[in-house]
Structure 1
Amino acid sequence: MATGAPHLTGPIRINVAGELLSLGYALLGKLGEGASSGVFDARRLEDGRRVAVKVSRTDIPEPALVVARMQTEWNVGRGLRHPHLVGVYDGGVLSDGRAFLVMERLHGHDLLDELESKGALLPVRALQIARQTCEALQVLHRRGAVHRDVKPENVFLCADGRLPDHVKLIDLGILALPDDDPERAHETTGQFIMGTPLYLAPEQATGARPDARTDLYALGGVLYHMLAGRPPFEGDDPTEIVSRHLNAKADSLGGLLPDLPESIVKLVHHCLEKDREDRPATAQEVITAIDLCIERLAVVIGPPPSLRSAPLPELPLPGAASDWLRYSELVQRYVEAYFPGESAPPALRVSVFEVGDARQSYLKAQATADANRERADLAARDRILQRELHQRRAHHVSAALERARLRVKEASRVADENATALDAVDDAYDNELALLRALTGGEVGDANLRALAARHQSLEVVVLQRTERTAGLDAARALELAAAEQLAALRGEDLDVQRALSEGDLDEQDDGYRNEQAAARAVDHAISALRLVEQSCVRLLFEYVRFLTLPGR
């Protein structure tokens, strides 16, 4: 791929590439274009890292609304480091008014591609994908945001060498905040309801304000799709699909999949309740339910092994924490079954102890990581809302400034017109006085009396005109002064709001950065603790096999 500026056409032009280059990002080529923005492959000049840059379009209805939404996406995602949310590194507004976001460059494919190519997924795989998605939603919800468009296309399966299904929730472009303006909270651009009809919560269809349970409804729809191979409602008419979300019940998963455990069926249909009050209240509630479902799907431990048949349980995939925790318990139970009481050799007993100790250390480290993550999210919530308020105030002040500039310009034009007209009247006044002066200097008589009367009458007309013009000029000057004073006040307000935004940036760089670093460090510790669980399980498995295969056993 070429390293120079790509050929940009349509709504994204070459000047944008130049401005982004000045900000430290070299566009390499276009990755795609959506209804409201274009996405580009880019290189960050600072360190050479490949990133994705999203730039809003201007040839769409209500481009300012798209800019506001991308700013919200930047506010919510800035500085956030989470394994299941696409990273947002930078953002802002370009000189031509378009918004831009610099994001993590992902490799892989989305869940919709997976479903279209492979059909329904195995229940345990579907649950693991849903759990990771729910972890991402939990972070957004704690930060005061609602995704509003959870769908397979926005569940990205990363090909990054980690778990086979490492999920990243993407496209936060229609995020809503609970304290959002009414026009931004639900139905917005044109005639389109915000959200995808196939997974649309009933409250989105009616224009009610969304909340966390709105996302959980959509997640239930995605989980239904993964298990059944199709969405809860489908068809060619979006209006009909929306109507069914409002009025019809989805076909029972238990009827479609008789062998599916009842706990999974209940979980999915619980999320798909029409009334949000009947759904799970939080993402954590869904995560807990998913964990219970996965636990019930785990391999049931069989009878104690015999001398002729000792089981050798398969190792889990690296990084699959819940699988390793179950595995550690499984191997320990096998050891206890084969070596009851104190009959286990000392080395084997040491390995059993190490596994238990590693498991407890991991659980403690994970609890710390969860607490730090929650602390960072809740602290970010206030900063996000404050920045949203400051940005909206900045937007209103900017618009008011523009109107004030136009008012000053118009008031000055009217004042100039009145001043020019008054100058013309003054010329007429001077002329009348000159004519009157020519009639004076002689003796009083009937002839000059009549001439004086005529000139005096003309002068009175001019004086009246001058009085009117003077009043008009005074009024115009007053309006001009008022407009200038308003403009000055708005400039002061603009400085205040820009100062508030700058201070918010400093808070983000200080408190926000520290919180995210603490959360990331705690996650690193939890990962290291999980590695110890994995290693201790492998050692225990080795000792278990070694003693079972000793001569004479």
Structure 2
Amino acid sequence: MALPSHDDGRWAAPELSDTLLYGTPYRPVRRLGRGGMGEVIEAAHVGLDKAVVVKLLHRDLNREPRLVERMRVEAQSLARLAHPNLVTVTDFGRTAEGRTFLVMERLYGRTLREELAARGALPALEALDLVTQTLAGLAAAHGAGIVHRDVKLDNLFVCDADAQGRRVVKVLDFGIAKVVASAGDGRAPAPSLYQTEEGVLVGTPRYLSPEQASGVAVDARTDVYAAGVVLYTLLAGRGPFEHVRPLHELLRAHASEIPAPPSRYAPRLVPPELDRAIMRALEKRPELRFPSAAAFAAELSRIAAALGDGVETEALLPPSCWQSTAPLTVPPVRAFVAPTLSATVEAFG
């Protein structure tokens, strides 16, 4: 999308004050969204004539050190990374009136939440591509010692198709990410260095891993679980615990209830090996999941290649031919312990 010239009088949208970003090199164009913590604004770097997105903390919240720190963590987390599946942060600071802001690249497209609402459940190959890209971005973050902790449809942005028809996924909103280790050599930190604090629940309830739901320490495999929920939802058009409503029951379900496989609800065929991969990502015990986002991505790539090549496997048979009637064995799960809810827990999404 072409931006207007900065001297033609069309920069500031009518509902935005031209002084909103005073003291910065950015001029507001239009408001993209507004929430409890702040607002998201399309702006332009005046000197570069380049579109950007500015996240601006509400005026009264700038007196809350915890919230300012949350934005700083997000800015520093993403500034350390350069990956095609992670949103790029280009600036962080305060306006002349003291409002904290964060500047990101301007993206064009829609979130996976909007994609699902517009189209319904997605075909397997498309869902596999989108989630494999997501996992590639998460693997880069994990390699730098950063656990996202809030992977969900709303935080995954699908860009408009490029010249080759490719739609790139960008992982957004590292606002509650935990920077837990430095990995200057590019290797993933040891799991013991990967962990976050115990006793505080952060994230969005419908995507919480059992360890998050119980308020205990988490590591990168928590993001693997959430990515499994995302893939399940894209295929089935609903989450694994869509039927559970009260928050305490939802947390208990994540901690101890085995969901039905996505093929149970999906309007299209879900190959059994894809069912198995998703159910492995959703294992209650982290050590039974894929050991990393990269390992999960590799398995999804293998499944996608088999489907794309038209390999003759059980995946091509009707569900009635491969769904097992054998009882499901469930590994022992630690007792559910209600966590202390933090201010970062979001409404059901």
Q: Do Structure 1 and Structure 2 share a fold, with TM-score over 0.5?
A: yes
Deviation sequence 1:472-519 (CA, Å, 0-9, x none): xxxxxxxxxxxxxxxxxxxxxxxxxxxxxxxxxxxxxxxxxxxxxxxx
Q: Does 1:175 align with 2:146?
A: no
Deviation sequence 1:71-94 (CA, Å, 0-9, x none): 111112226432111111111244
Kindly name which structure, 1 or 2, has the bigger radius of gyration based on alpha carbons: 1
Offset, 1:237: 2.6
Aligned position for 2:22: 18
Aligned position for 1:251: 260
Offset, 1:299: 3.0
Q: 1:167–1:226: structure 2 CA closer, same or farther, 3 Å change rule?
A: same
Aligned position for 1:404: none
State the alpha-carbon separation in 2 of the partners of residues 61 and 252 from structure 1.
44
State the alpha-carbon separation in 2 of the partners of residues 7 and 246 from structure 1.
45
Aligned position for 2:292: 282
Offset, 1:3: 1.1
Aligned position for 1:512: none
Identity %: 35
Are the equivalent residues in 2 in contact too, given 1:54–1:102 (CA < 8 A)?
A: yes
Q: 1:225–1:4: structure 2 CA closer, same or farther, 3 Å change rule?
A: closer
What CA RMSD, in Å, does the superposition of the two structures yield over aligned residues?
Answer: 2.9
Deviation sequence 1:274-318 (CA, Å, 0-9, x none): 11121111111011101111122123379xxxxxxxxxxxxxxxx
Are the equivalent residues in 2 in contact too, given 1:30–1:39 (CA < 8 A)?
A: yes
Aligned position for 2:282: 272
Are the equivalent residues in 2 in contact too, given 1:89–1:103 (CA < 8 A)?
A: yes
What secondary structure does 1:113 align onto? helix
State the alpha-carbon separation in 1 of the partners of residues 232 and 160 from structure 2.
24
Aligned position for 1:241: 250
Aligned position for 1:219: 227
Offset, 1:141: 0.6
State the alpha-carbon separation in 1 of the partners of residues 263 and 34 from structure 2.
40
Aligned position for 2:129: 128
Aligned position for 2:215: 207
What secondary structure does 1:74 align onto? helix
Structure 2 letter corresponding to 1:245: H
State the alpha-carbon separation in 2 of the partners of residues 224 and 198 from structure 1.
12
In the TM superposition, 1:54-133 aligns within 5 A as 54-60=55-61, 63-78=64-79, 80-94=81-95, 97-133=98-134
Q: 1:237–1:72: structure 2 CA closer, same or farther, 3 Å change rule?
A: same
Are the equivalent residues in 2 in contact too, given 1:201–1:245 (CA < 8 A)?
A: yes
State the alpha-carbon separation in 2 of the partners of residues 209 and 58 from structure 1.
33
Structure 1 letter corresponding to 2:23: E
What secondary structure does 1:132 align onto? helix
Structure 2 letter corresponding to 1:272: L
Offset, 1:36: 1.5
Segment of structure 1 superposing worse, 57-66 or 123-132: 57-66
Q: 1:179–1:58: structure 2 CA closer, same or farther, 3 Å change rule?
A: farther
Q: Does 1:197 align with 2:205?
A: yes
Determine which structure has the larger helix proportion and give its number. Answer: 1
Structure 1 residue ranges (4+ consecutive) displaced by more than 6 angstroms after TM superposition: none
Are the equivalent residues in 1 in contact too, given 2:147–2:220 (CA < 8 A)?
A: yes
Offset, 1:48: 0.4
Segment of structure 1 superposing worse, 220-229 or 85-94: 85-94
Are the equivalent residues in 2 in contact too, given 1:53–1:101 (CA < 8 A)?
A: yes
Are the equivalent residues in 1 in contact too, given 2:86–2:170 (CA < 8 A)?
A: yes
Are the equivalent residues in 2 in contact too, given 1:79–1:88 (CA < 8 A)?
A: no
State the alpha-carbon separation in 2 of the partners of residues 44 and 172 from structure 1.
23
In the TM superposition, 1:23-422 aligns within 5 A as 24-60=25-61, 63-78=64-79, 80-94=81-95, 97-162=98-163, 163-178=165-180, 185=197, 193-234=201-242, 235-256=244-265, 259-300=269-310
Are the equivalent residues in 2 in contact too, given 1:6–1:28 (CA < 8 A)?
A: no
Structure 2 letter corresponding to 1:167: V
Offset, 1:160: 4.5
Offset, 1:60: 4.8
Q: 1:203–1:14: structure 2 CA closer, same or farther, 3 Å change rule?
A: farther
State the alpha-carbon separation in 1 of the partners of residues 248 and 57 from structure 2.
28
Aligned position for 1:374: none
What secondary structure does 1:198 align onto? helix
What secondary structure does 2:178 align onto? coil
Structure 2 letter corresponding to 1:17: L
Structure 2 letter corresponding to 1:19: G
Structure 1: any 5+ residue segments left out of the alignment? 303-553
State the alpha-carbon separation in 2 of the partners of residues 60 and 186 from structure 1.
26
What secondary structure does 1:19 align onto? coil
Structure 2 letter corresponding to 1:271: A
For normalisation by structure 2, the TM-score amounts to: 0.75
Are the equivalent residues in 1 in contact too, given 2:108–2:160 (CA < 8 A)?
A: yes
Offset, 1:103: 0.5
Structure 2 letter corresponding to 1:171: D
Offset, 1:236: 3.7
What secondary structure does 1:120 align onto? coil
Aligned position for 1:332: none
Determine which structure has the larger strand proportion and give its number. Answer: 2
Structure 2 letter corresponding to 1:147: H
What secondary structure does 1:173 align onto? coil
What secondary structure does 2:151 align onto? coil
State the alpha-carbon separation in 2 of the partners of residues 213 and 291 from structure 1.
19
State the alpha-carbon separation in 2 of the partners of residues 238 and 143 from structure 1.
32
Q: 1:226–1:4: structure 2 CA closer, same or farther, 3 Å change rule?
A: closer
In the TM superposition, 1:405-444 aligns within 5 A as none
